């Protein structure tokens, strides 16, 4: 996507109220449970948000939980709030619904209006029950999330369900009104993602953040959701670190969110030890969940100014000669840059070979491994809440249940692909082992994510 389009999007977002701070930032000790449907269940936005906290606030330990169940409507979420959400002892609960509540019927006007109105009304009845249940937990902070959109306008193969997104927006409006009434936090994914879709479609009619089914955001869309959430928390502008050096005066003139020690500066050779308080945010997440190789997380950078607002690690040196300089960190070559480039400032967060980026990459991979294990557990709970609960078999993991599921899998594709995980997870010992592994990985994330000191050297190339 052209830089001019990104600039247009940036101006649009800045001029609008879509990104006003509406969510309090998470604090140390928070246990955040993300409640939703398949977009949460199989999605990455919560993992991407946690990765930002892991890298930018490495000493602010917290715990995130996925409480998504594919296919859920508001009523189903209400019925599992106690057992699946509040059982995790959260300090913060996020909640999003609306995609499944509005159904998947392909209707034409005027029938569409009446059918959608009835579905919205039914959803809002369940929402009233949810609101009453949430009131029973006054010590838990609530964050209502307006659903990511259904993309009706992309010219992809899937036939669009007209007016579905309009019905979803009606639910989101009620969610926002209730959040204001109850003093909950609120953020909307639908409006900004729809705006990005529509602008992208001006130059590419098949552009979408929602994937081939118009429903499930792929990794780039999930990253947009994470960006919108972090922006709503007022975290934009928090640099990884910034260092500014005046070479002729041999002075460190700026050291923001970092500590500079042992400087040795002249116009031909500059050395110093750098200890940042944060790590850069890695954009190399392996495609998984709803991601595809051609829709990586980093694709989101074409439509959101995440780098400019959240991922700046700037090294700036003024007064160097109009020549080429060699940058090394801990004796490892990072690159060669002109004096003009150093004067403008180099964003180290975009250079994957730096030791601090490599460290952040390790944190990301551990977080991905934790995410993958949690997904297996969510598949187990999906079988129970979506398939077994309606049959009166909630948490009945007997051999007879397994036999019934094997028969059911012959006519239900989703049960068929989930059954292998269920057959392992039905044993409590297996679930406990997976939980211990996730706990170990979380501990490791908060060990590996601590920034380390690095020796920088900038030398004139002869």
121, 166 in Cβ contact below 8 A? Answer: no
**pLDDT exceeds 60 at position 3:** no
d(CA 127, CA 178): 9
Largest Cα separation within the chain, whole Å, is 80
d(CA 337, CA 325): 5
287, 219 in Cβ contact below 8 A? Answer: yes
Cα dihedral sign, 254-258-262-266 = negative
Kindly tell me the burial class for residue 152, based on how many C-beta atoms sit within 10 Å of its own C-beta (0-12, 13-18, 19 or more). Answer: middle
Q: What is the mean pLDDT of the chain?
A: 93
DSSP 8-state secondary structure symbol assigned to residue 77: H
**pLDDT exceeds 90 at position 12:** no
Q: Which pLDDT value is given to residue 189? A: 98
Q: How many CB atoms lie within 10 A of CB 413?
A: 9
Residue whose pair of structure tokens reads 């409480």 in the numeric block: 67
3-state helix, strand, coil in the chain (%, to 5): 45, 20, 35
At what angle are helices 355-382 and 45-56 packed, to 10 degrees?
150
Q: Which pLDDT value is given to residue 67? A: 98
Q: Which tokens is 325 given?
A: 């300089």
pLDDT per residue as tens digits for the range 358-388: 999 999 999 999 999 999 999 999 999 999 9
The pLDDT > 70 percentage for the chain reads 93
Q: Which pLDDT value is given to residue 295? A: 79
**Mean pLDDT value of segment 30-43:** 97
Q: Provide Rg for the chain, Cα atoms.
A: 24
pLDDT per residue as tens digits for the range 91-116: 999 999 999 999 998 877 678 889 99
**pLDDT exceeds 90 at position 20:** no
Q: How many CA atoms lie within 13 A of 209 on its CB side?
A: 33
DSSP state letters, 258-325: EEEEEEEE-SSEEEEEEEESS-PPP--PPP-TT-BTTB-GGGGGGTS-HHHHH--EEEEEES--SSEE
Q: Are strands 92-95 and 63-68 parallel, antiparallel or unpaired?
A: unpaired
CB neighbour list of residue 264: distance below 8 Å, 6 or more residues apart? 270, 271, 272
**Mean pLDDT value of segment 47-54:** 98
Backbone dihedral angles phi then psi of residue 317, each to the nearest 5 degrees: -130, 120
- Short-list 36, 271, 231, 240, CA closest to 146: 36
Residue whose pair of structure tokens reads 């592994």 in the numeric block: 437
DSSP 8-state secondary structure symbol assigned to residue 137: -
CB neighbour list of residue 14: distance below 8 Å, 6 or more residues apart? none
Of residues 399 and 283, more confidence is placed in 399
Cα dihedral sign, 416-221-449-346 = positive
d(CA 165, CA 98): 9
Q: Which domains does the chain have, with CATH numbers?
A: 3-232 (3.40.50.1110), 241-358+450-460 (2.60.40), 360-448 (no CATH)
- Short-list 92, 139, 101, CA closest to 120: 101
**Mean pLDDT value of segment 207-236:** 96
pLDDT per residue as tens digits for the range 283-320: 876 655 554 555 789 999 999 999 999 999 999 999 99
**Mean pLDDT value of segment 268-293:** 81
Query: Which CA distances in Å does 29 have to 50, 62, 92, 304?
Result: 13, 5, 11, 30
**pLDDT exceeds 80 at position 11:** no
CB neighbour list of residue 320: distance below 8 Å, 6 or more residues apart? 247, 267, 339, 342, 343
**pLDDT exceeds 80 at position 440:** yes
Kindly tell me the burial class for residue 1, based on how many C-beta atoms sit within 10 Å of its own C-beta (0-12, 13-18, 19 or more). Answer: middle
Q: Which pLDDT value is given to residue 110? A: 72
Q: Which pLDDT value is given to residue 109? A: 67
Q: How many CB atoms lie within 10 A of CB 453?
A: 13
pLDDT per residue as tens digits for the range 130-142: 999 999 999 999 9
Q: Which tokens is 86 given?
A: 């509040």
Q: Which tokens is 18 given?
A: 């879509």
The pLDDT > 90 percentage for the chain reads 89
- Short-list 305, 149, 297, 295, CA closest to 231: 305
| Alpha helices for 295-427 (secondary structure H) | 306-310, 339-344, 355-382, 399-409, 413-425
**pLDDT exceeds 60 at position 346:** yes
- Cis amide linkage into residue 158, ω under 30° from 0: no
**pLDDT exceeds 80 at position 326:** yes
Q: Which pLDDT value is given to residue 4? A: 43
CB neighbour list of residue 335: distance below 8 Å, 6 or more residues apart? 327, 351, 353
Q: Which pLDDT value is given to residue 290? A: 53
Query: Which CA distances in Å does 248 have to 15, 265, 326, 338, 340?
Result: 41, 9, 18, 16, 15
Q: Are strands 251-256 and 92-95 parallel, antiparallel or unpaired?
A: unpaired
d(CA 79, CA 84): 9
């Amino acid at each position: 996507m052209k830089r001019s389009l990104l600039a247009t999007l940036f101006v649009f977002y800045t001029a609008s109220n879509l990104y006003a701070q509406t969510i309090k930032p998470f604090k140390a000790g928070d246990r955040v449970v993300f409640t939703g449907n398949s977009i949460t269940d199989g999605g990455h936005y919560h993992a991407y948000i946690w990765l930002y906290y892991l890298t930018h606030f490495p000493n602010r330990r917290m715990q995130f939980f996925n409480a998504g169940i594919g296919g859920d409507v508001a009523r189903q979420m209400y019925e599992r709030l106690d057992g699946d959400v509040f059982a995790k002892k959260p300090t913060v609960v996020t909640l999003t619904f609306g995609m499944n509540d509005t159904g998947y019927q392909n209707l034409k006007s005027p029938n569409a209006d009446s059918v959608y109105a009835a579905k919205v009304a039914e959803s809002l009845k369940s929402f009233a029950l949810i609101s009453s249940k949430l009131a029973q937990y006054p010590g838990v902070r609530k964050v209502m999330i307006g659903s990511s959109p259904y993309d009706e306008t992309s010219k992809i193969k899937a036939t669009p369900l007209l007016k579905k997104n309009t019905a979803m927006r009606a639910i989101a409006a009620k969610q926002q009104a209730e959040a204001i009434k109850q003093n909950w936090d609120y953020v909307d994914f639908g409006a900004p993602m729809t705006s990005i879709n529509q602008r992208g479609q001006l130059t590419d009619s098949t552009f979408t953040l929602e994937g081939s089914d118009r429903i499930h955001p792929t990794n780039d869309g999930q990253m947009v959701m994470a960006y919108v959430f972090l922006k709503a928390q007022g975290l934009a502008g928090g640099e990884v670190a910034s260092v500014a050096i005046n070479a002729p005066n041999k002075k460190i003139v700026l050291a923001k969110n970092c500590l500079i020690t042992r400087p040795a500066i002249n116009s031909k050779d500059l050395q110093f030890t750098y200890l940042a308080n944060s790590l850069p945010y890695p954009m190399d997440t392996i495609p998984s969940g709803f991601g595809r190789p051609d829709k990586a997380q980093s694709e989101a950078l074409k439509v959101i100014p995440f780098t400019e607002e959240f991922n700046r690690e700037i090294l700036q040196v003024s007064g160097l000669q109009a020549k080429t300089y060699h940058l090394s960190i801990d004796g490892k070559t990072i690159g060669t840059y002109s004096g003009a480039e150093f004067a403008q400032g180099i964003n180290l967060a975009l250079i994957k070979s730096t030791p601090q980026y490599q460290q952040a990459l390790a944190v990301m991979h551990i977080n991905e491994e934790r995410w993958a294990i949690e997904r297996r557990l969510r598949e187990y709970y999906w079988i129970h809440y979506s398939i077994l609960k309606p049959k009166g078999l909630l948490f009945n993991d007997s051999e007879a249940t397994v036999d019934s599921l094997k028969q059911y899998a012959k006519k239900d594709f989703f049960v068929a692909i989930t059954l292998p995980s269920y057959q392992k997870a039905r044993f409590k010992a297996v679930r406990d082992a997976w939980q211990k592994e996730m706990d170990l990985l979380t501990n490791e994330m908060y060990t590996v994510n601590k920034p380390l000191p690095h020796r920088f050297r900038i030398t004139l190339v002869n």
